């Protein structure tokens, strides 16, 4: 186990960070199985009015480490455990962490655009970003890796399909955040596969998109009357 921890230190560190945040949620709300929505908002969940009107943009990042209950946490951490370890075999620690955070940010922005008055939390946008990045990597090297790449991509397509199906069938699952993370991750994976040192191009693009989203959000809120209460 120690060697496994050392080999996949980024994945285990991310899992540990999510567990730490959940421990804080338990201490703050005195709830273990299901965390009250108000407590999540106070701890940094995405909530449109506070993000847009209050200027609390940092919620787009902190929300990625908050979970609404034990089931939510375990499902996401199991997915991160499964997908994160292969990610460390093909991506540098810097690129892995950058993709995780940036795709999670895009997932948060897409979520708040689609659901401006809903409280949003969870690591799934970033996890789907990692899914997308690995898929992009294997697609880029599909000829070099041959049958191994085809089988790998087939397995990942099944996993992603099942997660999307669960997202559409279970209430309160934000499919828009999954889609935002997945698509942005796919782009990142394609870039890093052929140009490992050019992730900065993706990062700059994501930040420009994020700024554009953030500037557009007040207009969206006025158009939908979300904040007229």
Domains of the chain, start order: 2-218 (1.20.1540.10)
Question: In the structure encoding, which two tokens stand for residue 89, read together?
Answer: 């075999």
Say how far apart CA 51 and CA 116 lie, in whole Å. Answer: 10
Q: Are 199 and 99 in contact (CB under 8 A)?
A: yes
Return the residue matching tokens 């009107």: 53
Concerning whether 178 is annotated as a catalytic residue, the answer is yes
pLDDT value at position 17?
A: 97
pLDDT tens across 3-24, in order? 777 789 999 999 999 999 999 9
Q: Which of 98, 108, 111, 124 is catalytic?
A: 124
Q: Are 170 and 66 in contact (CB under 8 A)?
A: no
Task: Give the pLDDT mean for 211-224.
Answer: 64
Q: Which of 79, 135, 178, 184 is catalytic?
A: 178
Residue 89: count of CB within 10 angstroms of its CB: 9
Say how far apart CA 126 and CA 110 lie, in whole Å. Answer: 12
Concerning whether 115 is annotated as a catalytic residue, the answer is no
pLDDT tens across 72-130, in order? 898 889 889 988 998 998 899 999 999 999 999 999 888 888 887 788 899 989 999 99
pLDDT value at position 211?
A: 79
Task: Give the pLDDT mean for 20-43.
Answer: 94
Q: Are 103 and 156 in contact (CB under 8 A)?
A: no
Q: Could you give the residue ranges of the DSSP H alpha helices within the chain? A: 2-7, 9-29, 37-43, 48-52, 59-62, 70-90, 93-114, 124-140, 142-145, 147-169, 175-194, 199-224
């Amino acid at each position: 186990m120690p060697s496994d921890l050392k080999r996949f230190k980024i994945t285990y560190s991310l899992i540990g960070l999510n567990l730490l945040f959940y421990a804080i949620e338990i201490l703050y709300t005195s709830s273990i199985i299901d965390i009250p929505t108000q407590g999540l908002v106070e701890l940094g969940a995405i909530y449109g009015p506070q993000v847009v009107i209050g200027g609390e943009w940092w919620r787009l990042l902190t929300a990625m480490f908050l979970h609404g209950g034990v089931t939510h946490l375990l499902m996401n951490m199991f997915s991160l455990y499964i997908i994160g370890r292969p990610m460390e075999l093909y991506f540098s620690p810097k690129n892995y962490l950058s993709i995780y955070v940036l795709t999670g940010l895009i997932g948060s922005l897409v979520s708040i655009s689609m659901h401006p008055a809903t409280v949003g939390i969870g690591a799934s946008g970033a996890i789907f970003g990692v899914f997308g990045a690995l898929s992009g990597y294997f697609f880029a090297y599909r000829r070099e890796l041959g049958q191994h790449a085809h089988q790998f991509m087939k397995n990942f397509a099944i996993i992603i399909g099942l997660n999307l199906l669960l997202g559409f069938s279970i209430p309160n699952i934000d499919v828009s955040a999954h889609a935002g993370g997945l698509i942005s991750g796919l782009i990142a994976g394609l870039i890093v596969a052929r140009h490992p040192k050019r992730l900065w191009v993706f990062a700059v693009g994501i930040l420009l998109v994020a700024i554009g989203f953030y500037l557009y959000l007040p207009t969206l809120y006025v158009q939908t009357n979300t904040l007229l209460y």
